[in-house]
Amino acid sequence: MIHYCVELGYTSNPKKLMPKKEKGPSIDSCIVAFCLHATGVSRLFNKDSVQEFLYRVAIILRKYDVVGAFFKDDTIFSFTDGNVDYTINLNDVIDHLGIEVSNNPDEYMPREKWVTCMEKLWTNSCTISALCGMPIPDKLPDGLNSYVIGSNRPVPADDEYKKAIEIFVSSIMKSIGEEEFIKLEKRTKERRIYLEDFKRRLAIKPAYQFDWNAISFKLKMKIYDIIFGYGAVNRDWKGFQEEMNEEESTFRALVYLAWIWAHGYINTYQVQQGIRVGWMAEVDDRLDFDYSKYDGLSGLGIGVNLYSTYYEFHLDKVSPLLRVKK
């Protein structure tokens, strides 16, 4: 599963960027994270990813005079949200070398692909920032206490502006200096090894493929009774038929989860909050799996907890019935 977060542990001074640990990252870090999401960059772990990030920042924030501002006073970009001014400068970028916002093993989305979905990423980033109460570059007043988010969408750079961007990026990279990147490589070495291994694992196709049609009708009836209670098929034959034939049905989703568990494509782990301990589960990243289908199917009735769902619907009794015999 691809996670999105703001990980500052690989920066040179995480405590500086998280002055109040219980409140999370600083405003500056959230703004940098916003830009990473909008540019399709997962992390700033090496020269290549930093250069690509800066190139894309110059495009998405062109309307904020990114290139011109830098050559005036080392400002990468600045904007106003409400009556508050926010500025990210060269030192802020250096402080954030090592930031990571996704466990996607790819450093960044290919530029050609990013250009085609630039507007969508911008809008999504603005929306996420708004929901999290973070400053937003693109927020226009629309009446009393009302705003339009993400309307000032970026557009691809023309040839003339691309030349200016190249100078902009080159100047920043020279200002950062070689020593910072040497230290960055050392800080992120273990994480990069893990990501490379993760990428290799993703490339290996699973040994088994789920096939709904390969499950016999008789077994589906048995499984339905296990999940929804003995006699469920007879009590609601029509409902059973609908659940059987509807691709997006809860029944099919639960059978798929039981099949995944049966073949070991699941990772369970313990989580602790205070003195309370619970269990969670994640599906093998190589599988096509939509977590949203399991929202509300837990003991609490809200959110997604596959571990809870597995036992709540007696899938531990279903899994052995679905295991492919070697």
What is the pLDDT at residue 17?
A: 87
Confidence band of 178 (pLDDT split at 50, 70, 90): very high
Q: Please state, in angstroms and as integers, the Cα–Cα distance from residue 124 to each residue in 91, 109, 130, 134, 173, following that order.
A: 27, 16, 10, 13, 28
What is the pLDDT at residue 143?
A: 61
Confidence band of 115 (pLDDT split at 50, 70, 90): very high
Nearest one of 33, 28, 45 to 121, comparing CA atoms: 33
Confidence check: pLDDT of 219 > 90: yes
Strands 4-7 and 100-102: antiparallel
CA-to-CA distance for 98 and 181, rounded, in angstroms? 10
Q: Please state, in angstroms and as integers, the Cα–Cα distance from residue 128 to each residue in 22, 33, 279, following that order.
A: 20, 11, 27
What is the pLDDT at residue 57?
A: 94
Least confident of 59-63, 255-259, 275-279, 292-296: 275-279
Confidence check: pLDDT of 174 > 80: yes
CA-to-CA distance for 144 and 80, rounded, in angstroms? 18
What is the pLDDT at residue 138?
A: 62
The reply to whether the predicted model has a pTM over 0.95 is no
3-state SS assignment for residue 152: coil
Burial 111-150 (b: 16+ CB within 10 A, else e): eeebbeebeebbbebbebbbeeebbbbbbeeeeeeeeebb
Residues pairing with 278 in the sheet: 271
3-state SS assignment for residue 47: helix
Handedness of CA 252, 253, 255, 256 (dihedral sign): positive
What is the pLDDT at residue 86?
A: 84
Residue-wise pLDDT tens digits, 25-76: 788 888 899 899 999 999 999 999 999 999 999 999 888 788 887 888 888 8
What is the pLDDT at residue 4?
A: 64
Mean pLDDT of 279-304: 83
CA-to-CA distance for 109 and 106, rounded, in angstroms? 7
Mean pLDDT of 135-156: 68
Indicate the average pLDDT of the chain: 86
What is the pLDDT at residue 201?
A: 82
Confidence check: pLDDT of 22 > 60: no
Residue-wise pLDDT tens digits, 66-103: 888 788 888 888 777 767 788 889 999 999 999 999 88
The residue ranking higher by pLDDT, 5 or 176, is 176
Domain ranges of the chain: 4-203, 212-322
CA-to-CA distance for 258 and 244, rounded, in angstroms? 16
CA-to-CA distance for 152 and 148, rounded, in angstroms? 9
Confidence check: pLDDT of 204 > 70: yes
Of all residues in the chain, the percent with pLDDT exceeding 70 is 89
Written as one letter, the residue type at 214 is A
| DSSP code for 108 | B
